[in-house]
Amino acid sequence: MTTPTSGPDRPDAVVVGAGFAGLYALHLLRQRGLSVRLFEAGDDVGGTWYWNRYPGARCDIESIFYSYSFDEDLKREWQWSERYAAQPEILAYLQHVADRFDLRRDITLSTRVESAHFDEASDRWTVTTDAGETVSAQHLVLGVGLLSSTNLPQIPGRDDFAGPTYHTGAWPHEPVDFSGQRVGVIGTGSSGIQLIPLVAEQADQLTVFQRTPNFSLPARNGEPDPRFVKRFHEDFENAREELRNSSYGILLEPPTRSALEVSDEEREATYRARWEEGTLTGILQAYNDHVRNHEANHHAAEFVRARIAEMVDDPQVADDLTPRGYAYGTKRPCLDTDYYATYNRDNVTLVNVRRDPIERITASGIVAGGVRHELDALVFATGYDAMTGPLLGIDIRGRGGVRLADKWAEGPVTYLGISTAGFPNMFMICGPGSPSALSNAVVSIEQHVEWVADLLTHLRESDTEVVEAEAGAEVEWSEHVQAAGRMTLYPETDSWYMGANIPGKPRVFLPYIGGVGHYRQHCARIARDGYPGFALRRPARR
């Protein structure tokens, strides 16, 4: 009996995850002639935008940029209703993409990939799912997302709470009505900052438990910016090229000057203009040394601190909401609608848990600083085991049965954030060591997917079929990623970029800060030069 070369249980590639990354990977690999199976744990496509249904969930990069650019017609035909689209609209967009490109026929929903083991005898991946299916694939493409492995902190009594509990990243599908309720929210990162104003409007009482205040700028959401819409309609190719070769995957005039070389008046005027713009990085990108130089950073931080003091009526609450002790930008900054003004409402209480630590969760609420806060519902806006969590949540084993979790015990080591030695034909989309979290993820996803598709085409054309990062290349790259990080202020801050939000997680700077355009050119050079740093060989057995 001969082994079939393809079929539903023997695809060329298995793609994991049906978010922005997985959908595009499925589309492009199929276009390149590969047979593909995509597994998605959710009951529909959408990834992050399937799971994050909390009130206020929306993107904070302008939708015209935070959407695919690989297809000009798709870009033209989809009109975003807002500058920063809300979750239902982004989910509808991804559902539209799945239908428009006929992706669903190769997607298996409601099915979680539990393990992926590399079989050295056949040079193929054996992938098993929680539905009991086993598939053998030549390639494994991991589009599992950066922020999809939810973090529920180990607070004493966490499971004793008698009322409903929610995590922003696993929000129920049925509407949640907080009317008449006393609601507690733990966490004031991007998710908490989006959710808190809307819960405050609905709930009887809202108590926010804040450990670290964040820097947040007003979103000034509204109509999509007509300048950008026009550019993409009239000058698609050039706009796309500019986006792809930018520093962060957004169209932005790169700063050329230091915050320290201008007068106080000029700096203040610049910050004020940027404050009015309503962009995530407007102030940070006003000068070129905000995330490299403490003094420069201090100016920008002080500007935002002064705005918080203006917006919040109670001076003690304003003081508690004021971020200090870390450089602005080194924790992921936020964009909000009425966040700070929410604390002027009579039904909102802020608990500074640095001053009044959470002691325990009880059946009826939270005890913090000796005070009992009675609650009917509790929301965890406590974030994610970022970047490595979703990968290590799958039992991945490479050559010699080595577990990825063991290989990365001291932190992730990758070549280009795409590949890791000992795990042939396995590709991470926006893995650790790539710009990913420090960029517009959609632009970075497109770059990775296209680069991987080109590599797989090259393997076919050169009749090699097996590719693996070389150990030396990945060590060199990983050292470069850390060295680039050390040129900035990021490593000084306890953030999820550093793995510091998860107890016991190795402290490693997870994303690459070299910039989207620079990184893209580096990857393109590697492809052009015949993939140095990768070993290419023929398969053990067809």
Residues at the interface with ligand NAP (CB under 6 A): 59-60, 147, 153, 155, 168, 186-192, 194, 209, 211-212, 332, 353, 358, 381-384, 496, 501
Nearer CB in complex with ligand NAP: 108/493: 493
Nearer CB in complex with ligand NAP: 499/517: 499
Please, is 107 exposed, middle or buried when counting C-beta atoms within 10 Å of its C-beta (0-12, 13-18, 19+)? Answer: buried
**Within 10 A of 72 (CB to CB), how many other CB atoms are there?**
13
Q: Which of 153, 59, 19 is nearest to 430 (CA)?
A: 19
Nearer CB in complex with ligand NAP: 109/502: 502
Nearer CB in complex with ligand NAP: 212/246: 212
Q: How far is the CB of 191 from ligand NAP (least distance, A)?
A: 3
Q: Which H or E element spans position 427?
A: strand 426-428
> Locate tokens 């992921």: which residue?
332
d(CA 115, CA 394): 5
Q: Which H or E element spans position 142?
A: strand 139-142
> Locate tokens 């997985």: which residue?
22
| Token pair belonging to 303 | 């500007």
Q: Where are the beta strands (DSSP E) in 249-364?
A: 334-336, 348-352, 358-362
d(CA 171, CA 402): 35
Nearer CB in complex with ligand NAP: 89/470: 89
Q: How far is the CB of 198 from ligand NAP (least distance, A)?
A: 13
Nearer CB in complex with ligand NAP: 11/17: 17
Q: Do 147 and 389 touch, CB atoms closer than 8 A?
A: no
Q: Which residue is nearest to ligand NAP (CB)?
A: 189
Nearer CB in complex with ligand NAP: 67/168: 168
> Locate tokens 């929301």: which residue?
379
Q: Give the strand order in the sheet containing 124-129.
A: 134-137, 124-129, 113-119, 395-397
Nearer CB in complex with ligand NAP: 138/214: 214
Nearer CB in complex with ligand NAP: 47/383: 383
> Locate tokens 């009317």: which residue?
179
d(CA 429, CA 37): 16
Q: Do 353 and 344 touch, CB atoms closer than 8 A?
A: no
**Within 10 A of 394 (CB to CB), how many other CB atoms are there?**
20
Those residues whose C-beta lies under 8 Å from the C-beta of residue 97, and which sit 6 or more positions away, are: 23, 68, 74, 103
